[in-house]
């Protein structure tokens, strides 16, 4: 029979600090899966197209930074060990997306958003607050957030230049994973958020996308 290690509050804070550094420092997140882009040759994009795709991938990268912070915050305050474990596992899976997006941004000659530390802090606080209120609300927040991410991915897939198979492959795999995370959160007992709350979340996500596209 295996035993589960119990961490002190100080241990958990140190783990959170480590997770934040691995999320925010360049190339610090090591993906468990190879990038889907590797199966496709790079396409010849003109300067305007490359700049636009870079902006889109920067948005998605910041979205993954927010996801990491959200899950870490929820794991810190989750009441049930099973929920905490689920949050930590989801954060591990999102590391793939974080690394894939950063790789593609660098290929296009760009850099991640300078606002990532700010969005990490805000998302961590939201996640920790949701987890402290209840695990059901925390899981529901995951599902609602992933729904927002899927909508962004659908929009970005439609905006990609014809022939950019590398970016398309990344976004399509991310979309599939995010849908699974949303379904898993609801199946675990997550609260289905009402439309007004989802509308507020959508408004906040638009602020993030408008700023990180260029900054």
Tell me, letter by letter, the H, E, C secondary structure of 19-56.
Answer: HHHHHHCCCCCCCCCCCHHHHCCCCCCCHHHHHHHHHH
> Is 166 a residue whose pLDDT tops 80?
yes
Model pTM score: 0.79
| 48 vs 17, residue with greater confidence | 48
Q: 3-class DSSP state for residue 167?
A: helix
Q: 45-212 belongs to which CATH class?
A: mainly alpha
Which tokens belong to 69? 């912070």
pLDDT at 14: 64
Domain boundaries, the chain: 45-212
Residue 4, helix vs strand vs coil = coil
CB 69 within 8 A of CB 127: yes
The answer to whether the beta carbons of residues 60 and 101 sit under 8 Å apart is yes
Determine what percent of the chain is predicted with pLDDT higher than 70: 77
Interval 50-100: pLDDT, tens: 899 999 999 999 888 888 888 778 777 766 676 666 666 666 777 888 889
- pLDDT higher than threshold 90 for residue 169: yes
CB–CB of 83/188 below 8 Å?
A: yes
Q: How confident is the model at residue 3 (pLDDT cuts 50, 70, 90)?
A: very low
pLDDT score, position 2? 39
Binding site membership: which residues? 64, 94, 97, 146, 178, 181
- Dihedrals φ, ψ of 194, to 5°? -70, 165
Q: What was the pLDDT predicted at 21?
A: 58
What does pLDDT average to over the chain?
79
User: From CA 127, how far away is CA 138, in angstroms rounded?
Assistant: 7
Q: What's phi and psi for 103, nearest 5 deg?
A: -60, -45
Residue 49 in this model has a pLDDT that exceeds 80? yes
Instruction: Quote the pLDDT of residue 5.
Output: 52
Query: Annotated binding residues for Fe cation, as ranges?
Result: 64, 94, 97, 146, 178, 181
State pLDDT tens for residues 129-145.
877 777 777 788 778 88
Name residues whose C-beta falls within 8 Å of residue 182's C-beta, 6 or more positions apart in sequence.
Answer: 142, 143, 146, 147, 150
**What percentage of the chain carries pLDDT values higher than 90?**
13
pLDDT digits (tens, 9 = 90+) for 7-43: 566 666 666 666 665 666 666 667 778 899 888 888 8
Give the range among 116-120, 167-171, 179-183 with minimum mean pLDDT: 179-183
**Is 4's pLDDT higher than 50?**
no
């Amino acid at each position: 029979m295996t035993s589960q290690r119990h961490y002190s509050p100080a241990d958990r804070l140190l783990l959170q600090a480590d997770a934040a550094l691995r999320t925010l420092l360049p190339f610090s997140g090591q993906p468990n899966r190879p990038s889907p882009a590797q199966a496709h040759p790079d396409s010849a994009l003109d300067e305007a197209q490359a700049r636009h795709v870079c902006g889109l991938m920067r948005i998605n990268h910041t979205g993954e930074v927010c996801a990491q912070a959200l899950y870490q915050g929820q794991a810190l305050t989750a009441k049930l060990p099973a929920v905490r474990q689920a949050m930590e596992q989801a954060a591990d899976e999102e590391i793939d997306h974080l690394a894939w997006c950063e790789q593609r941004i660098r290929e296009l000659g760009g850099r991640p958003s300078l606002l990532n530390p700010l969005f990490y802090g805000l998302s961590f606080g939201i996640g920790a607050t949701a987890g402290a209120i209840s695990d059901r609300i925390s899981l529901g927040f995951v599902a609602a957030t992933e729904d927002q991410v899927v909508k962004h991915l659908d929009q970005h897939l439609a905006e990609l230049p014809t022939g950019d198979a590398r970016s398309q492959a990344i976004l399509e795999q991310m979309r599939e994973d995010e849908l699974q995370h949303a379904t898993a959160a609801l199946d675990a007992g997550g609260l289905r958020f009402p439309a007004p709350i989802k509308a507020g979340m959508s408004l906040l996500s638009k602020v993030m996308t408008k700023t990180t596209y260029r900054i």
